[in-house]
């Protein structure tokens, strides 16, 4: 079937160092002009993406949008559903998910074809979100297990100044105020008090 309108492609990668070449190759194989390819280096949790929003302004009824896989459109189940309906029903474009031929709205325009495409979309969107949630849960479990083993996260605290112990003793004895003690140690009062508490609890400076 001959396509009407222009063809566009959308690429989403989750970080600046992730390689987008595989998506570029797939779109070029579909003869999508390079000038019509829009790419965001953003998370898929929502659709607040500069290039995606720019793409929406370009799309017109009869255009075709290519994406390599459904998770390149997004990872939030409800948002994918809403965007799919907005693109196909409100704007009036066709969408082709390259690695899932059943998700090609140019095919099966009858009731059965639409039903199959909607069903596949719901399943794949659900799988995409479930995988994202499973990854997050595995990360949380890994962090908890590491903490239980004594692994510390975040930047290590800066070394204490050489005079800290002496200043701490004067502050603890009431000879100087906390503000004076913090000033002598060259740190904010909140930091001085935090480190003092750690010292009192664990004797680790």
Q: Which residue has the higher pLDDT, 131 or 70?
A: 70
Q: Report phi then psi at 55, rounded to 5.
A: -60, -45
- pLDDT tens column, 94-145: 999 998 887 888 876 666 666 667 777 777 777 766 776 777 787 788 777 7
Of the pLDDT bands very low, low, confident and very high (cuts 50, 70, 90), residue 205 is very low
Do 167 and 181 contact (CB within 8 A), yes or no? Answer: yes
Do 68 and 98 contact (CB within 8 A), yes or no? Answer: yes
Which residue is catalytic, options 14, 35, 69, 190?
A: 14
14: annotated active-site residue:
yes
Do 94 and 145 contact (CB within 8 A), yes or no? Answer: no
Q: What distance in Å separates the CA atoms of residue 97 and residue 115, rounded to the nearest whole number?
A: 16
Please state the pTM of the whole predicted model. 0.58
What pLDDT sits at residue 106?
A: 83
Please state, rounded to an integer, the average pLDDT across all residues of the chain: 82
């Amino acid at each position: 079937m001959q396509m009407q309108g222009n063809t566009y492609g959308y690429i989403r990668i989750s970080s600046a160092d992730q390689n987008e070449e595989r998506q570029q190759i797939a779109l070029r194989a579909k003869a999508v002009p390079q000038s019509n390819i829009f790419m965001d280096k953003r998370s898929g949790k929502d659709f607040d993406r500069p290039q995606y929003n720019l793409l929406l302004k370009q799309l017109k009824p009869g255009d075709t949008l290519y994406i390599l896989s459904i998770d390149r459109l997004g990872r939030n189940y409800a948002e994918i559903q809403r965007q799919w309906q907005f693109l196909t029903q409100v704007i009036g474009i066709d969408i082709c998910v390259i690695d899932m031929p059943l998700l090609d709205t140019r095919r099966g325009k009858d009731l059965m074809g639409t039903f199959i495409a909607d069903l596949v979309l719901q399943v794949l969107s659900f799988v995409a979100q479930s995988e994202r949630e499973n990854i997050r849960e595995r990360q949380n479990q890994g962090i908890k297990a590491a903490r239980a083993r004594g692994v510390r996260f975040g930047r290590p605290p800066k070394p204490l100044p050489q005079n800290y112990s002496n200043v701490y003793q004067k502050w603890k004895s009431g000879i100087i105020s906390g503000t004076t003690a913090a000033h002598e140690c060259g740190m904010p009062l909140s930091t001085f008090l935090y480190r003092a508490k750690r010292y009192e609890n664990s004797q680790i400076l």
